[in-house]
Amino acid sequence: MASAGVTLKKVLRFQVQQAFSQANLDPELIEQEINARERLMDAILDSEGVTEAKNHYGQQFATIQQAMGVDSARANMIAQQQATQLAATFQSAQMQSLIVHDPTDDLRTLDIPTLVLFGGKDTQVTVDMNKSSIEKALQSAGVSYQTKVFPEANHLFQKANTGSVQEYSTLESTFVDELIPTLIEWIKD
């Protein structure tokens, strides 16, 4: 359900691009911030140049903040906090594993029927980014599989308006109507 078919690094790249694009920022600034973020990830994974990569990321994030209208002093403070928080997050063993893990490697080893479900309005793990790579991996595994997209569902399979994370808490905390019947029917089959 709402599983990634690409590495977390690719998912994060997409999510950051989406978030900053909504703020109408210069695409070049967005790309520079993402590249600096990925450089920090790589430095942490390699255990080399972490301090330099963290400082570089902080500079790029401060530039983004200033482009969003934040004054220089506050932008630098926010950027330092962000760089420290991001570095701590990327330094966790679980996150390091997820950053480079390709979930399709696991899917290629499956030997059981598989049901893959997506929310059509999922903005975290989008159908476009993930569905085809999952299907290719399952085809490679030679297993019986079914994919289904619930057009009105978000990442949590709630009926959504926009699918944005900010909307989650404003929605009814129930699944879209078709989800449970789909699960039951698939299990019966």
Domain count, the chain: 2
* Average pLDDT for 16-37: 90
* Structural domain range at position 179: 103-188
Q: How confident is the model at residue 161 (pLDDT cuts 50, 70, 90)?
A: very high
Q: 107 with 92, same domain?
A: no
Q: End of a domain among 59, 75, 100? A: 100
Give the N- to C-terminal CA distance of the chain in Å, as an integer: 18
**Its pTM surpasses 0.85:** no
> Does residue 1 lie within any of the structural domains?
no
CA distance 105 to 37: 25
Q: End of a domain among 44, 66, 100? A: 100
Can you give the pLDDT at residue 58? Answer: 96
Q: With contact defined as beta carbons under 8 Å apart, do 139 and 169 qualify?
A: no
Q: End of a domain among 43, 71, 100? A: 100
> Does residue 43 lie within any of the structural domains?
yes
